[in-house]
Amino acid sequence: MSTFLITFRIHDNATYSERYNSLVERIKKEGPWWGDTTSFFAVSSEKTTHDLIYALYYDTLLSSTTDLLVVVNRDFKSSYYVGNLRDSDIKTLLPEIKSLT
């Protein structure tokens, strides 16, 4: 089991609440979690980093054109993102990061 750090940005439009709630509920189904801040969760999972971000993206209402989801495996040098990456500095900070799409 690995510990994952999940952060996200959901574009504020008419479907913001539905997309936010679908992601939060899906994260909570994964395993033990902590989420006392607005757009950050820590969660334990048996999944690989790729499989977790895949599930969090495809099992929710997130939009890759407006939203951003980043998953970092704390135990291994593994991280993925999906969505509208506006600032590519994360690729310097996490050189191993890969795009899901």
Dig out the tokens for 65 from the structure: 């054109």
101 pLDDT band (50/70/90 cuts)? confident
Condensed to tens digits (0 to 9), the pLDDT of residues 39-92 reads: 999 999 999 999 999 999 999 999 999 999 999 999 999 999 999 999 999 999
Q: 3-class DSSP state for residue 45?
A: strand
Domains, the chain, ordered by start: 2-99 (3.30.70)
So what's the pLDDT on residue 60?
97
Query: 18 and 61 in contact (C-beta within 8 Å)?
Result: yes
Q: Which residues contact 93 (CB under 8 A, 6 or more apart)?
A: none
Average pLDDT over residues 19-43: 96
Q: What is the pTM assigned to this prediction?
A: 0.94
3-state secondary structure of 79: strand
CA 37, 90, 68 angle in degrees (round to 5)? Answer: 55
Q: What is the pLDDT of residue 53?
A: 98
| Cβ neighbour number for residue 41 with a 10 Å cutoff | 21
